[in-house]
């Protein structure tokens, strides 16, 4: 099987590439910058339609996981043209190339397609994004759905992805918190923002199952536990035996964000729990896995 991953230098894409290689899948890791560590590297800007088509015709992938995206929520709000080009036009280019080469497409979306008024959203709930990032991701879902045959498209929605390895150019919430608390520094964490945080390893494993079984439709492939950012931070501190008293509980209004964030964009994983053999992990199990991965990294040097 030939697997092409866009955004392969990211937190999710890099983990997916590594696990796919462990299963003897032929991996092509594409990204707009840098050299991917896992698989055959392909430099690719998904906005460049001609390059996308050329890449697909050259590789002729069986499966494409489209994870390339502009995920900086405030940057999307400030530069809407850039956000639209990457998140919507880029997805359109990938979906059209996937349709033309008759491959299976997995599109990685986000919990931010929802308004956050209700929380614990199921797949059939009506999306209503609050910010431009969420709007572009929802529009990309629509583009993919309109382009691909229903049986050849899987849309996965994660929430607050974290993991043991920093993505290219940025550190994820869990690693940032661990490093900061280990230095004895105080942190301010929002008490009024709820998500279902997703360990990248768990997300990659669920995605691989979707590939192997050719599952189609929309699935919430995220963590199984709904909790606030503040509760998430305290869980991390407990797991890594760090000082919880350094975590200050504050309101989300205390942060100078440009874009509005959903109050509660947590996702219901009942469908994934029922259908997938690889289940969404509870927060306690996910953090134990994260701790194990970090320990293994330290002992490998």
Q: Is residue 21 part of a domain?
A: yes
β-strands 187-190, 194-195 pairing: unpaired
Residue 36 has a pLDDT of 67
Q: Is residue 281 part of a domain?
A: no
Q: Is residue 291 part of a domain?
A: no
Q: Is residue 210 part of a domain?
A: yes
208-249 pLDDT, tens digit per residue, is: 999 999 999 999 999 999 999 999 999 999 999 999 999 999
Residue 34 has a pLDDT of 76
| Helix/strand/coil percentages in the chain, nearest 5 | 45, 20, 35
Task: Please report, for the domain that includes residue 35, its CATH number.
Answer: 3.40.50.720
DSSP annotation of 183: T
Dihedral sign of CA atoms 130, 133, 136, 139 in order: negative
Q: Which parts of the chain register pLDDT below 70?
A: 36, 169, 299-301
In terms of residue numbers, what domain contains 90?
Answer: 2-159+198-222
Residue 299 has a pLDDT of 62
Count structural domains, the chain.
1
The answer to whether residues 99 and 91 touch, using CB atoms and an 8 Å cutoff, is no
Residue 301 has a pLDDT of 34
Q: Is residue 69 part of a domain?
A: yes
Q: Is residue 165 part of a domain?
A: no
């Amino acid at each position: 099987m030939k697997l092409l991953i866009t955004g392969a230098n990211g937190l999710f894409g890099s983990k997916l590439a590594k696990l796919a290689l462990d299963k003897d899948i032929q991996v092509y890791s594409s990204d707009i910058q840098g050299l991917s560590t896992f698989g055959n590297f392909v430099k690719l800007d998904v906005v460049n339609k001609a390059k996308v088509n050329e890449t697909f015709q050259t590789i002729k992938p069986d499966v494409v996981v489209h994870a390339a995206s502009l995920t900086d929520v405030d940057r999307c709000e400030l530069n809407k043209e850039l956000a639209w080009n990457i998140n919507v036009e880029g997805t359109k280019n990938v979906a059209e190339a996937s349709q033309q080469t008759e491959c299976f497409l997995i599109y990685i979306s986000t919990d931010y397609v929802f308004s956050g008024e209700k929380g614990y959203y199921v797949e059939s709930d009506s999306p209503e994004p609050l910010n431009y990032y969420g709007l572009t991701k929802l529009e990309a879902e629509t583009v993919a759905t309109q382009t691909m045959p229903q049986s050849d498209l899987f849309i996965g929605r994660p929430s607050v992805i974290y993991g043991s390895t920093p993505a290219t150019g940025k550190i994820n919430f869990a690693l940032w918190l661990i490093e900061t608390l280990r230095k004895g520094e105080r942190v301010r964490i929002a008490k009024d923002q709820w998500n279902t945080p997703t360990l990248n390893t768990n997300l990659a494993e669920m995605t691989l199952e979707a590939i192997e079984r050719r599952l189609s439709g929309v699935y919430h492939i995220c963590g199984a536990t709904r909790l606030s950012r503040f509760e998430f931070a305290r869980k991390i501190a407990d797991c890594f035996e760090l000082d919880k008293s350094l975590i200050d509980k504050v309101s989300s209004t205390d942060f100078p964000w440009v874009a509005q964030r959903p109050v509660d964009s947590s996702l219901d994983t009942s469908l994934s729990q029922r259908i997938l053999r690889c289940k969404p992990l509870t927060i306690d199990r996910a953090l134990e896995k994260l701790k194990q991965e970090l320990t293994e990294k330290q002992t490998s040097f």
